[in-house]
Structure 1
Amino acid sequence: MPRRRARHRTGRGARGACLCQGNRSGPERGRLTDSTGNRLRYAVRRADLRAVAESRRRLRDHLRQWGVPALADTAELLTTEIVTNALQHTGGGAVLTATLSAGPARKLRVEVHDSLGRRPPGGGRPADDATSGRGLLLVEALADTWGVQARGAGKVVWFEIDAAAAA
């Protein structure tokens, strides 16, 4: 079920592998975008936390190409949180997909699909002295909508940001 926040805020690899539609050679090879040019897919290998930075870089580059660089700060932060969660809490890899919808009500949708854990992320509020556990609080606070969907043996954690408001 999608979750909404009250207000919208926008801020002004070698380790993973790019994927695209029609890629039959596996996650080690592929192009950065599919044929429509409004989609990024990037596979991050199991336990490769250094690839999180590459995920951010690729997303930032695509947002610039798509003409919505104002979304970069917020989108990179939230992407970092959900990619890192997928790698740390499932013990497997993940696939990042970012798409920018067309039309006047453009939305950036970022999804991270893991294939090893169906358990929903989160577990309540962390203790005041906890050193982690605040990532989904950031997602909830900064994304327009977000949610979790079971998919196969795993799940997809996703968020959307209104790109039209940032233009």
Structure 2
Amino acid sequence: MRTGELTGRRERRPTRLRRRVGHADLSAVGEMRCALREFLRHRPGRQDPDVAELLLSELLTNALIHTRNGAVVTVTSAPARLRVEVRDFLVEREPTPYVPNADDGTHGRGLLLVRSLADSWGITAQALGKVVWFELCGRTA
């Protein structure tokens, strides 16, 4: 499968979007938001694209700012669930939710947003790096 390729066109089969992002490529965050919105437009689930974009932005920005080897974004959808994974290649530490104080401006709220808005989320250690992921369940209209 080529990077960025969409697979699995059947309604019941999961579909996937996968992209590699270079470490210094912060413009890729906006590009990934657009790719995610387009991906969601063609699937049957009813996940909120605004929430999915926001949470993807938070995880991808963290990976690009705090690591030096880029990231791999994988979005997998099924009719009732959307899973977004951001894999980095930094071994030294695992992210922890930061509790910002009033003087922090906008710094440190990414994982708090993920924890608040995702139906589930977590961190999976890899042999090299980790995957930070979230899931959004389908909503009824």
When normalised by structure 1's length, the TM-score is 0.74
1:108 correspondence with 2:96 = no
Contact 1:45–1:92 (CA under 8 A) maintained in structure 2: yes
Instruction: Tell me the equivalent position of 2:6.
Output: 33
- Determine the C-alpha separation between the residues in 2 that align with 1:143 and 1:66: 19
SS in structure 1 of the partner of residue 102 of structure 2:
coil
Moved beyond 2 Å, runs of 4+: 67-70
Pairing 1:1-150 to 2, within 5 Å after superposition:
21=1, 23=2, 30-34=3-7, 36-37=8-9, 38-68=15-45, 70-102=47-79, 106-131=80-105, 132-150=107-125
Q: Can you give the 5+ residue segments of structure 2 that lack an aligned partner in the other structure?
A: 10-14
Identity %: 47
Contact 1:140–1:146 (CA under 8 A) maintained in structure 2: yes
- Determine the C-alpha separation between the residues in 2 that align with 1:118 and 1:149: 14
CA RMSD of aligned residues (A): 1.7
Contact 1:60–1:69 (CA under 8 A) maintained in structure 2: no
Instruction: Tell me the equivalent position of 2:12.
Output: none
1:32 Cα deviation from its structure 2 partner = 2.3
When normalised by structure 2's length, the TM-score is 0.87
Q: Can you give the 5+ residue segments of structure 1 that lack an aligned partner in the other structure?
A: 1-20, 24-29
1:77 and 1:31, CA in 2 relative to 1: closer, same or farther beyond 3 A? closer
Q: Tell me the matched-pair count.
A: 135
Alpha-carbon displacement from aligned partner over 1:82-107 (angstroms, at most 9, x marks no partner): 000000011220011011124xxx11
- Determine the C-alpha separation between the residues in 2 that align with 1:42 and 1:31: 5
Contact 1:113–1:157 (CA under 8 A) maintained in structure 2: yes
1:116 and 1:166, CA in 2 relative to 1: closer, same or farther beyond 3 A? farther
**2:68 alignment partner AA:** G
